[in-house]
Amino acid sequence: MLDEAEGTKWVSRRTPVVRLPIDQLGQTNKADSPYLAPEVQLFYKAKATRDKDETDFEAVLPLLAAPARAWLANAVKVIAPNHPWLRRLLPVNRT
């Protein structure tokens, strides 16, 4: 899942349009244990969501910083332009 790269960017095998700087691909917790950035994991879960994926999305959404949320929205739009998560990820324009 994570072995594709071009230079300093990770490239999704699912679609090469979806990319992320390699240094943003993973994070570490307080115990220094590495883990995949939540927005990337949710991107993979978005293709065919199951109940547990919906649960993960609900749990992670309030914790995603604006840049991660925007990246996830853009990535999901590429693979599923009408995905139901997009309504929750994209800011509502109230003008």
Q: Going along 1-95, which residue ranges are E strands?
A: 5-6, 9-11, 19-21, 26-28, 34-36
Question: In the prediction, which pLDDT does 93 show?
Answer: 45
62 occurs within a structural domain: yes
Q: What pLDDT was estimated at residue 94? A: 43
Domains in the chain, number: 1
Q: Is the pLDDT of residue 2 over 90?
A: no
Q: Mean pLDDT score of the chain, rounded to an integer?
A: 91
Q: Is residue 94 part of a domain?
A: no
Q: Does pLDDT of 70 surpass 70? A: yes
In a domain, 95, yes or no: no
Its domain, for residue 79, covers 5-89
Beta-strand pair 26-28/19-21:
unpaired
pLDDT at position 90 over 90: no
Question: What is the arithmetic mean of pLDDT over 52-70?
Answer: 96
Q: Answer yes or no: is 29 within a domain.
A: yes
